[in-house]
């Protein structure tokens, strides 16, 4: 047992870090939900959703800085400092790529949303919901089974999105002769697929923390 883990017995409850983790997870879910809503409305109605995503991404950046600041000034932490840093940075990367997905849809003026895009945004929303659920279960290290179950689900979603991505990229190059269309959809699909990858990286960190403290 590490010194940091031993010292946790002296602290009845973490009042700094987990509340911030919960806020961060909430932002992830809200951003993923907003993007999924955006791809299910008409192109002319998406601007308000994209604006909301941008504002939420700014909140994520501020929260990341706040967590890192708390990490720099607090000796006692709920788990290893490097894991707190990894969890925070990986969650922030998820928000970065949700924002990037929205930005590319706006930049490339994607009017026709393919069914596969909706499938990926739905999968990413579920992945973010599982991150949120896993963080709730991680607090107090009392429910490692739920943490592992959520992480396994995120891994399955990542595999699912990889399959959708591979098929769509093949179809885009096989069926399109318009270079602009190829670039447009490839950029959007790449950002969406990377978002899922980032969710998996968060799951890897959460699973590692859970195993250490089980």
The rounded mean pLDDT for the chain is 92
Q: Determine the Cα–Cα distance for residues 156 and 135; give it in Å rounded to an integer.
A: 18
Q: Determine the Cα–Cα distance for residues 191 and 66; give it in Å rounded to an integer.
A: 26
**What percent of the chain is predicted at pLDDT more than 90?**
80
Q: Is the pLDDT of residue 179 over 90?
A: no
pLDDT of the residue at 4: 45
pLDDT of the residue at 172: 87
The CATH fold assigned to 15-212 is Methane Monooxygenase Hydroxylase; Chain G, domain 1 (1.20.58)
Q: What is the number of other CB atoms lying within 10 angstroms of the CB of residue 115?
A: 9
Confidence band for 13, pLDDT divided at 50, 70 and 90: low
Q: Which residues contact 190 (CB under 8 A, 6 or more apart)?
A: none
- pLDDT tens for 181-192 read 889 999 999 999
pLDDT of the residue at 12: 46
Mean pLDDT of 23-41: 98
pLDDT of the residue at 6: 52
pLDDT of the residue at 11: 44
Q: Which two tokens stand for residue 178?
A: 């318009």
Q: Determine the Cα–Cα distance for residues 75 and 125; give it in Å rounded to an integer.
A: 35
- pLDDT tens for 100-155 read 999 999 999 998 899 999 999 999 999 999 999 999 999 989 899 999 999 999 99
- The answer to whether the CB of 96 falls within 8 A of the CB of 59 is no
Q: Determine the Cα–Cα distance for residues 102 and 111; give it in Å rounded to an integer.
A: 12
pLDDT of the residue at 10: 47
Residue 74 DSSP symbol: -
Mean pLDDT of 75-99: 95
Burial category of 27 from C-beta neighbours within 10 Å (exposed 0-12, middle 13-18, buried 19 and up):
buried
Q: Determine the Cα–Cα distance for residues 93 and 195; give it in Å rounded to an integer.
A: 8
């Amino acid at each position: 047992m590490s010194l940091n883990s031993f010292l946790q017995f002296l602290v009845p409850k973490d009042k700094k870090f987990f509340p911030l983790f919960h806020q961060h997870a909430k932002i992830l879910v809200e951003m993923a939900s907003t993007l999924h809503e955006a791809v299910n409305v008409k192109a002319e109605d998406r601007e308000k959703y994209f604006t909301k995503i941008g504002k939420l991404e700014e909140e994520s950046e501020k929260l990341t800085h706040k967590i890192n600041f708390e990490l720099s000034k607090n000796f006692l932490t709920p788990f290893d400092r490097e894991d707190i840093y990894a969890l925070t940075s990986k969650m922030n990367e998820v928000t970065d790529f949700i924002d990037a997905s929205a930005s590319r849809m706006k930049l490339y003026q994607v009017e026709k949303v393919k069914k596969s895009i909706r499938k990926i945004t739905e999968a990413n929303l579920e992945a973010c919901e599982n991150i949120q659920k896993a963080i709730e279960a991680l607090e107090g290290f009392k429910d490692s089974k739920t943490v592992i179950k959520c992480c396994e689900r995120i891994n399955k979603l990542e595999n699912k999105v990889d399959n959708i991505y591979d098929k769509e990229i093949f179809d885009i190059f096989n069926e399109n002769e318009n270079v602009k269309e190829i670039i447009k959809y490839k950029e959007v699909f790449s950002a969406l697929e990377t978002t899922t990858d980032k969710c998996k990286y968060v799951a890897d960190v959460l699973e590692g923390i859970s195993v250490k403290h089980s």
